[in-house]
Amino acid sequence: MVSLDGFFEGPNRELDWHNVDDEFTEFAVEQLDEIGVLLFGRVTYEGMVSYWPNASADAPAVADRMNSKPKVVVSTTLDEADWNNARLVTGNVIEEVARLKREPGDDLAIFGSSELTVSMLEAGLVDELRIMVNPILLGEGRTLFDGLVDDLELTLERTRPFENGNVLHCYRPAYRGDERTG
C-alpha cells in the first residue's frame, strides 16, 4: 500500500492511514489464496508477527491464511523466526529467493519490506508489482522504492478500483535483456 504521494509508511513508520474495509479484506483473502510463500524483511516480519497470531477476531479469514502460510524471513540481526511456518534466511538472499522461484507451486509474495523489494527488483527476481494506492496525501514518509539504483520501466498489466477509493495497480517490470519485455 502506498499513499497517493508515494509513501508506504508515514515519517514515524505509522500505517494507520491504510484504507481497509470489507472489500479490501475480501481482496486480501483472494490474494493470499494465490500465494505459496510469504517473504518478509525483518521490520515487516516483526510488525506482522506482533499482530496476526492474535488477530483472528479482526479478520479471521486473513488471519488464518497469514498464520498458516509458509514464511521466509530475511534478516541479518534476528536469531530466530518463531511465527508458525516461518524460517529465517541470513545468508545469500538473492540465491535463496531464486531457488524458491524455481520450485513448483504457488507464487512468492513480498508484503511491505521495501528494502527486500528493492533488492529483489535489482536482482531481476520480481515478476509483478501489486501496488495498492490509497486516496490520501501524507506529505512525508518513506517511499516504497527508496534506494533503487537504476531506472526500471514497468508495463501496466491491469488495475482494479475499490469503492473506498483505493486503486490496485499491477505492473510487470521490464528488465534489461529480459525476453518478456519484447
Q: Which pLDDT tens digits describe the chain residue by residue (182 residues)?
A: 999 999 999 999 888 898 889 999 999 999 999 999 999 999 999 999 998 998 776 789 999 999 999 999 999 899 999 999 999 999 899 999 999 999 888 899 998 889 999 999 999 999 999 999 999 999 999 999 999 998 999 999 999 999 999 999 999 999 866 654 44
User: What's the pLDDT at 180?
Assistant: 47
- The pLDDT, as a whole number, for residue 179 is 52
Please name each of the domains of the chain with its CATH number.
2-181 (3.40.430.10)
Sign of torsion over alpha carbons 138, 145, 163, 156? positive
The 3-state DSSP class for residue 33 equals: helix
For residue 32, the model assigns a pLDDT of: 95
Q: What is the DSSP string of 142-166?
A: EETTTT--S--EEEEEEEEE-TTS-
Q: What is the pLDDT of residue 2?
A: 94
pLDDT value, residue 105: 83
Helix intervals (H) in the chain: 22-34, 42-51, 60-68, 93-102, 114-122
pTM: predicted TM-score of the whole model, two decimal places: 0.88
User: What CA–CA distances, in Å, run from 6 to 43, 97, 127, 147?
Assistant: 19, 26, 21, 14
Chain centroid to CA 67? 16
Q: How far apart are CA 4 and CA 122, in angstroms?
A: 24
> Is residue 175 within 8 Å of 152, Cβ to Cβ?
yes
